[in-house]
Chains A and B, each alone.
Chain A
């Protein structure tokens, strides 16, 4: 089995946004949403020691994906090859997954009121093509491959020290790795740290209050009626109609 992952080689990225545009045109992503993005940070430092960093991001296809856990209907699930996908037919557009995602990689598509996000162009990959963003990258800064294959480019990048965007508080096993040799990734992490998965109020009430309450209520009425019926069986029925 394969475990798909992507490496962003920050040393090679020239922040041309071609990947973003390719993705947008391939999937008709409405502005201002993204399946895949390049966020340009402000230049830092004093001339000539100056640097400008871009955050190249997309769905991290996490091993322990909070969005998969949050989805009430099972529309979002993780495939065996590691790709996290949204089954549009089951999606009700509740947005719980988007609130849970530490990377802000999901958006509600206003065209159909359903959630959309990067799926590693799994339709293209299954036909032997590369994802649209990878195919279009002029600097080969995006590398897509299989982590289970030790000879793949991504595996080699990872063994050479490519890093995930994780923090001490949030580490859900992301599968996007960042490689750089100028400590630029630290700047990106400081600007876009993974967010703690959020749960909206109604779902908090549901899971913390309603669920235990109804287990008690339903269990109680069921057992009560069971006891009543047992008593009735024990007593037997009277012959007189009343």
Chain B
């Protein structure tokens, strides 16, 4: 059988259970696809031995009839997740050579369920970026191109390697993390599904921290059904993360009925941005019509503080990052600068961090340091936290008024060319997250669903935002949207 790597999680699971294929066969198909796809820069640490060992173990489990949904399914893991004995460096030079002695809770849960790790995936350094261009490994590349134009496009970021790998069928699915849009924006740029669950659903333990009050892990998959299957395995309470929610995890897949009759979908007027491409407008209108045709009630809503979400984010996230990244000091792990005669410990810190952190990370750490410094803490940091309260209140208000989910575009544009934003100021790049960042600030679940192609043949995504802890309901609405949109396009293989 050929092209096993092109299967979805649910298809592969069903074939494994029907004994039509084996995990070793699936894994070998993915490993060959990975080896033939170095041009995509998606996998940055390949782990074929571990993969085959876990695949053989999964086949034994399957033979014994003890097979959780993820058992035997080959996936990629974002480099942000600590994986025991395997390089885990958050795409940063400062963690070069770091091999954790422990496994992150989320990747452990996947492993316990029998999932097969194929390797580690490219990303923006410390998850700071929207184009995968800040990685110490070099760019990840989008498998999609603008028609016959061979300009290399970004897969988005920060989970760019995950997005590229799933879209190019190098793995059946991948883990991502999302602090301001890092799952949903790359998913939209590559025509795949990505969900960021409610803050607290997935344990953050063992995931390299960027902004702890915003970071959440989630799956990046080929279909909504796959997202439901994989998310369920990733979720659950963990005593090692004090913000992890101790509430039951439902069977998300069983909630995918596709029936959304009577659901109320909000269309927020503040997400209609000046200068938004017409294609995005149309996609949004089409998506609205699809949900209406599926029996949902459409209601215009207002989220008045939307405009202030990005500025608030660019205070809160750098502030938390400056604190989280203080641990990279050249003492306990990773890179240490070579010191000159007479250099003391301060020079060691300063040189190590200057050599180890890339430009964007340095900039954000310093912005964070500034907004937390004496005299500015109230003006910037506390003000941003108050605005965050207001942003969350906007959502609480519309949910209290009976809205079940909110439909928005996932991104303000299709994937752009690698290097195209080099001359732009940092704020231009930040605008990529304009539709996604509100969801992190409010701690809500959000999912990006591929919904169409632009005139150049690039995928575009729509975002659905749900009520806290109601991922099951959100996934079902996304499932209805996915079915109506009927997005089946795949990138032409050029790599």
Partners in one complex: no
